[in-house]
A and B are shown apart, each in its own frame.
Chain A
Amino acid sequence: MNFFGYQEQARKNSAILIALFVLAVILITISVYFAIVAGILISQMFVDQPGFTFDELWNLQLFFWTMVFTLTIILGGSAWRIHTLSEGGGAAVARMLGGNRLPSASRNPLDRRLLNVVEEMAIASGLPVPPVFVLEQSGINAFAAGFTPSDVVIGVTRGAVELLNRDELQGVVAHEFSHILNGDSAMKMRMMGMLYGITLVSDLGIVLMTMKHSSRYGRNRGSHPGLVVVGFLLFMVGTIGVVMADFIKRAVSRQREFLADASAVQFTRNPSGIADALKVIGGYKSGSKVSHVAASQASHFFFGNAIKSWYAKDWWATHPPLDERIRRIEPSFKGKFDKINYQSRSLANTTMASAELMVSPGDQVAHSNVSPEAVMSRIGTPDAGSMQEAILLMAKMPSRIRDFSHDPYTARAAVYALLLDHHPQQRRIQLQVLEKAADPSVYRETLEIQPELEKLAPELRLPLAEMVLPALKEMSPQQFKGFKKAVVAMIKADNEVTLFEFILYRMVIRRLSGAFSNSGPVPVKYHRIEPLLTHASVLIALLARTGHGEDAERVFRESMALLKDAGHPMPDQKDARLSHFDRALTELNRAAPQVKESVLMAAVHCVVCNGVISVKEGELLRAVADGMDCPMPPLSTG
């Protein structure tokens, strides 16, 4: 199965999730009804209140109100949670778990190592580099949370940062990236929102039990006995909800852990990385434990079992047992874990991290075969070749530009400098605009980095645009507004929007807007290609004209034929406005994974059919894939 298949499967999992959710809600409603009946009966023993007897075990009116009450709590709770989650995105989950964002400019060797591992992995898979959060926990664990590539974050515990060596850390991060690429992170976000309502009943029970009551019922302190009893029963009933929530998590997410482990191995081509990480967890006394009040809500996000509960034995837990996971990667594993000494291991890792900050690139694994199938197969399922290529790309990136891209202050200058035109006349106009729109000192930084950026290999421009994102996400909303204004002013300065400017705008500003004011997941609107053919033709025509000149018309026909379209006219060159292109991408992003696959197939065919991918074509193709939230690894261009 490929990327699109996994995405589709994740969507189907969401359907199973909804079915289980409905079942749970019905069960809880019935249980709550009986809990309330029982509560009232028992409370009559304390408070002399006539009106209710055993005969009325079934009381339609009471049942109706119970149902209204329970549904309001569960659905209201879930709706509210889903709302806040889509507003806050992955960062909301990380903060809820007590995570702190790692400043991307950090100079601490262990932090730097983690940031570099995440950056490499993101470049290799074609995802925008996600922000990294650190959880101050001694257990070894990690997670990826977020609806779309714009708001995804990676979270890692302090224990993992200090106890895992670079290979192990890479394995763990690769596992999390597979979750993002397979569509699991988005599904888990939805799951977390829904399950919140179910577990809310139990929380409410606790509050009712412990509440101080008003003076109306006499002088006794604490909650009214009736409320205590109702509260206790709600709590018990709510436990049904909590257990069911765990069951749902288990049913939906357990198999995906094996998948992510396997993808991580394929990704890094290093089975021992992730296997060793699992072994370290097995031999470490805190294991993968996360002690935080919110950990149980988010248990399904984690790399390993974050919590242990009395009813959750191995077969019931959200994650498969460690030795089973290890044995799937390393069949010869005997099940013996070596004891881990925190002090010595963390010391060794700090020393190593300081020394190894730059990884030396190995030999390039050439993707000599530029067939459309080969390119397609790498979307969302990066392999060791992509990894190697990313490391090579990073090595080619001058260290000064890297430093620039890691700091929110200078990252802006890097983006401004990227936007500067080669033509001296245009550039002068742009600089004039920038001088007015930007901070004087940022303006100076822009002038300073500009000559280096001009020398930058063209295939490094988009990776750089991906690299600046986490630093820019550290700006405050106000600072982002100013930055966006300056970028728009620069693009518009010469009254002409070039293709590269447009691509950069979409990759940087669209992604940042997504992070600053989250709109949550993109709902699927189109399940068939037919309504999208016009939009697809805009895109294919642009790609054909960029790469094939004379032959454009023929290539356009050929590619459109892949979409089972024979009659669509090629949009006229005059009509090829970037605003149409923009709309086309926005609409195509609302298609079901299988539809996206066929559109991308046509686009890839259009680019690859003459056997050469020019830098310009490569950039455009990646922008198309990125616009449809289908991460495409860097292409070997030439």
Chain B
Amino acid sequence: MTALMIVLGVIVFLILYIIVIYNRLVKLKNRFKNAFAQIDVQLRRRYDLIPNLVETAKAYLKHEQDTLTHVIEARNQAMAAMKRASSHPDDPGAIKALSGAEGLLGGAMLNFNALQEAYPDLKADQTMMQLSEELTSTENKVSFARQAYNDEVMIYNTQRETFPDTIFTGMMGFKEAELFEVVDEEVKEGVKVSF
């Protein structure tokens, strides 16, 4: 009789403890998934700005169509990657793909900016100046949002690997989350639009 009670008690305790662990991880997972929404807002803004920028530049850069198409292509790819990542921020593959696409876009933007140096008229264009400034500010916001996201991912990953959580994480399907880092070395500091 007492034995049954004790066994039952231990089982109950274990179940409750696992529930606690599970809930804690779900909470942290939701937090970093939520943090991605901020990146989403800022990246969307950035992807909206870039075509405007290119459109304005077109009038001046008639002979540089290649660079411009390259920027637009990179932007479209990055946008597709972002859409996938924003519906599954807990999928490491999607975040990695977005990091890569963002790196490429950053590189394309660098080329585009280098090109502007050779066209003083373009640099002096009012619309162009405004757009570039807004782009820089959006870049900063993106990296701030990314930092917030990475912080939350770190908290989640650390908890996931802490004993005793780590025993159950595999069973419960809590995968390691991916940090959102932009791969390209030069792009790390954000796109510099210099005038």
Residues in B neighbouring A479, C-beta threshold 8 A: 144, 147-148, 151
Q: Is B170 an interface residue (CB 8 A)?
A: no
Q: Is A105 an interface residue (CB 8 A)?
A: yes
Is there contact, CB below 8 Å, between A103 and B148?
no
Q: Is B67 an interface residue (CB 8 A)?
A: no
Q: Is A586 an interface residue (CB 8 A)?
A: no
Quick one: which of A62-83 are within 8 Å of B by CB?
62, 65, 69, 73, 76-77, 80
Is there contact, CB below 8 Å, between B27 and A95?
yes
Chain B: minimal CB distance from A248 (Å): 23
In the complex, what distance in Å separates the CA atom of A80 from the CA atom of B144?
35
Is there contact, CB below 8 Å, between A408 and B148?
yes
The majority secondary structure among interface residues of chain A is helix
In the complex, what distance in Å separates the CA atom of A73 from the CA atom of B37?
38
Map CB proximity to A onto B7-36 as digits: 1 under 8 Å, 0 otherwise: 011011001100010010001001101110
Quick one: which of B34-65 are within 8 Å of A by CB?
34-35, 37-38, 40-42, 44-45
Q: Is B141 an interface residue (CB 8 A)?
A: yes
Q: Is A458 an interface residue (CB 8 A)?
A: no
Residues in B neighbouring A441, C-beta threshold 8 A: 140
Among listed A298-306, A469-477, A495-503, interface-contacting one: A469-477
Indicate the member of B2, B144, B149 with the most A CB atoms within 10 Å: B144
In the complex, what distance in Å separates the CA atom of A207 from the CA atom of B16?
11
Number of interface residues of A (CB under 8 A): 38
Chain A: minimal CB distance from B87 (Å): 11
Map CB proximity to B onto A430-443 as digits: 1 under 8 Å, 0 otherwise: 00000000000100
A441: nearest residue on chain B (CB-CB)? B140
State which of A65, A73, A101, A477 has its C-beta within 8 Å of the C-beta of B5: A65
State which of A51, A101, A106, A208 has its C-beta within 8 Å of the C-beta of B34: A101
State which of B12, B38, B137 has its C-beta within 8 Å of the C-beta of A103: B38
Chain B: minimal CB distance from A477 (Å): 7
Is there contact, CB below 8 Å, between B1 and A407?
no
In the complex, what distance in Å separates the CA atom of A88 from the CA atom of B16?
19
Is there contact, CB below 8 Å, between B12 and A107?
no
Chain A: minimal CB distance from B52 (Å): 15
Map CB proximity to A onto B115-159 as digits: 1 under 8 Å, 0 otherwise: 000000000000000000000010011001101110110010000
Instruction: Contacts A62-B1, A69-B8, A76-B16 given; indicate if A106 touches B41 (C-beta within 8 A).
Output: yes
In the complex, what distance in Å separates the CA atom of A207 from the CA atom of B155?
30
In the complex, what distance in Å separates the CA atom of A477 from the CA atom of B152?
8
Is there contact, CB below 8 Å, between A477 and B151?
yes
Chain B: minimal CB distance from A61 (Å): 8
Is there contact, CB below 8 Å, between B15 and A476?
no
Q: Is A100 an interface residue (CB 8 A)?
A: yes
Residues in A neighbouring B20, C-beta threshold 8 A: 80
Map CB proximity to B onto A85-101 as digits: 1 under 8 Å, 0 otherwise: 00010001001000011
Q: Is A204 an interface residue (CB 8 A)?
A: yes
Residues in B neighbouring A476, C-beta threshold 8 A: 35, 147-149, 151-152
Is there contact, CB below 8 Å, between B27 and A88?
yes
Q: Is A478 an interface residue (CB 8 A)?
A: yes
Residues in B neighbouring A226, C-beta threshold 8 A: 4
Map CB proximity to B onto A196-220 as digits: 1 under 8 Å, 0 otherwise: 0000000010011000000000000
Residues in A neighbouring B16, C-beta threshold 8 A: 73, 76-77, 80
Residues in B neighbouring A65, C-beta threshold 8 A: 2, 5
Is there contact, CB below 8 Å, between A100 and B37?
yes
Residues in A neighbouring B145, C-beta threshold 8 A: 408-409
Is there contact, CB below 8 Å, between B147 and A51?
no
Chain A: minimal CB distance from B88 (Å): 13
Is there contact, CB below 8 Å, between B140 and A409?
yes
Residues in A neighbouring B44, C-beta threshold 8 A: 107
Is there contact, CB below 8 Å, between B38 and A105?
yes
State which of B2, B4, B30, B41 has its C-beta within 8 Å of the C-beta of A105: B41
Map CB proximity to A onto B72-89 as digits: 1 under 8 Å, 0 otherwise: 000000000000000000
In the complex, what distance in Å separates the CA atom of A162 from the CA atom of B155?
34
In the complex, what distance in Å separates the CA atom of A445 from the CA atom of B136?
12
Residues in B neighbouring A208, C-beta threshold 8 A: 11
Is there contact, CB below 8 Å, between B141 and A407?
yes
Is there contact, CB below 8 Å, between B23 and A84?
yes
Chain B: minimal CB distance from A177 (Å): 23
In the complex, what distance in Å separates the CA atom of A84 from the CA atom of B20?
10
Instruction: Contacts A73-B12, A204-B12 given; indicate if A103 touches B140 (C-beta within 8 A).
Output: no
Residues in B neighbouring A474, C-beta threshold 8 A: 35, 38, 148
Residues in B neighbouring A95, C-beta threshold 8 A: 27, 30-31, 34
Residues in A neighbouring B11, C-beta threshold 8 A: 208
Residues in B neighbouring A409, C-beta threshold 8 A: 140-141, 144-145
B34: nearest residue on chain A (CB-CB)? A101
Chain A: minimal CB distance from B22 (Å): 12
Chain A: minimal CB distance from B148 (Å): 4
State which of B8, B27, B38, B152 has its C-beta within 8 Å of the C-beta of A408: B38
In the complex, what distance in Å separates the CA atom of A52 from the CA atom of B1?
9
Instruction: Contacts A69-B5, A408-B38, A409-B140 given; indicate if A107 touches B45 (C-beta within 8 A).
Output: yes
Chain B: minimal CB distance from A623 (Å): 29
Map CB proximity to B onto A476-515 as digits: 1 under 8 Å, 0 otherwise: 1111000000000000000000000000000000000000
Is there contact, CB below 8 Å, between B1 and A51?
yes
In the complex, what distance in Å separates the CA atom of A80 from the CA atom of B1?
29
Chain B: minimal CB distance from A338 (Å): 35
B45: nearest residue on chain A (CB-CB)? A107
Residues in A neighbouring B30, C-beta threshold 8 A: 95
Chain B: minimal CB distance from A325 (Å): 33
Is there contact, CB below 8 Å, between A103 and B151?
no
In the complex, what distance in Å separates the CA atom of A95 from the CA atom of B33?
11
In the complex, what distance in Å separates the CA atom of A65 from the CA atom of B2?
9
Q: What are the 7 A-B residue pairs with the smallest beta carbon separation, nearest first? A: A476-B151, A476-B148, A409-B141, A409-B144, A103-B41, A95-B30, A441-B140
24 A–B pairs (Cβ distance < 8 Å), ordered by A: A52-B1, A61-B1, A92-B27, A95-B30, A95-B31, A95-B34, A100-B34, A101-B34, A101-B37, A103-B40, A107-B44, A204-B12, A207-B15, A226-B4, A408-B38, A409-B140, A409-B141, A409-B144, A476-B35, A476-B148, A476-B149, A476-B151, A476-B152, A478-B151
* New A-B contacts (18) at CB < 8 Å, excluding given A95-B34, A105-B42: A52-B1, A69-B9, A69-B12, A80-B16, A84-B23, A95-B31, A103-B37, A103-B40, A103-B41, A107-B41, A107-B45, A408-B38, A408-B148, A409-B144, A410-B141, A474-B38, A479-B148, A479-B151
Give B contacts to A, CB under 8 Å.
1-2, 4-5, 8-9, 11-12, 15-16, 20, 23, 27, 30-31, 33-35, 37-38, 40-42, 44-45, 137, 140-141, 144-145, 147-149, 151-152, 155
Give A contacts to B, CB under 8 Å.
51-52, 61-62, 65, 69, 73, 76-77, 80, 84, 88, 92, 95, 100-103, 105-107, 204, 207-208, 226, 230, 407-410, 441, 445, 474-479
